[in-house]
Amino acid sequence: MRRDGPWRRPTFFPDRVTRPTILLTGATGQLGYEIARLLPAHGELTALGRSQLDLADVDAIRATVDAIRPQLIVNAAAYTAVDLAERDEPLAEAINARAPAVLAEEAKRLGALLIHFSTDYVFDGLATRPYDEQAPTRPLNAYGRSKLHGEQAIAATGAAAITLRTSWVYARRGRNFLLTMQRLGREREELRIVADQFGVPNWSRQLAEAVAALVAKGLPALAARAGLYHLSGRGQASWFEFAQAIFGTAARPRLVPIESAEYPTPAVRPGFAVLATARLEQAFGIVLPHWRDTLQRCLAAAD
């Protein structure tokens, strides 16, 4: 074999060799959209929205996973219409419970890792201190039941999976409390806001950044610490306090605190749903800022 100069050991490109193949579901949702912007830096990403992958179709899920053969599946898709779920529980179960189970089964078959999102609504809200991962679950509504069933189904498969419970997700797009308040604030002089339900507001971009930080640690490190974790900012707030922080010192609209009984909804919400995050912090060193700091960052963001 001819050599035109001194022989050198071939140079390999670890970024090409070790970059995992990633499948992201729910890519057009408020959380999936943000994740889809970040994960290309960490792998070869296929990001699918609802129109490209119907999670109510088990055969479509299996065929998609089989075609892509991902090493990492990130399931950011969910049925999140909390009140509608009360009359459409079968569809909520299909998307929030059966689909995650199938994704976990496929991940196990391929030796892949699954990252899945769940919710604070798996709890009954009767606690007086933040819920940790070992706290008993007792969802009060169909949405919470479907998400809990998804957690349980994933665990039952034995797949390497990280399930991340979070709460009160808002974004600069989609349908959420932040955008609803901003719209109603332009339309009305007064807003009556529930003040006896407590949780932690979480910006979808901050959550997506945490997911990217997890993936950056490498799939073997995540698989070694697979399990259930709470992912949430620090502090706590009522919906009324969240609204106050959104409007700041603006003179309009006038905000009036009310009790949950004055704003009845088809689905009962937990009165207290703050999540303790020590387990995630200790396992992966990921600490989210106080929710007020994150909100200010969101409000100042260009997009």
As a 3-state breakdown, the chain gives helix, strand, coil percent values, each rounded to 5, of: 45, 20, 40
- Residue tagged 């169909």 (tokens): 142
Rounded Cα distance, 303 and 298, in Å: 9
Given a contact cutoff of 8 angstroms between Cβ atoms, the answer to whether 294 and 206 are in contact is yes
Question: Which residue, 142, 153, 51, is CA-closest to 92?
Answer: 142
Rounded Cα distance, 231 and 31, in Å: 13
Return the active site residues: 143
Length of the chain: 303
Q: For residue 10, is the peptide bond before it cis, meaning its omega torsion is within 30 degrees of 0?
A: no
Rounded Cα distance, 99 and 25, in Å: 11
List, in sequence order, the alpha helices (H) in the chain.
14-18, 30-38, 58-68, 89-93, 99-110, 142-157, 177-187, 204-216, 219-224, 239-247, 278-284, 291-300
| 23 token code pair | 């499948």
| 25 token code pair | 């579901």
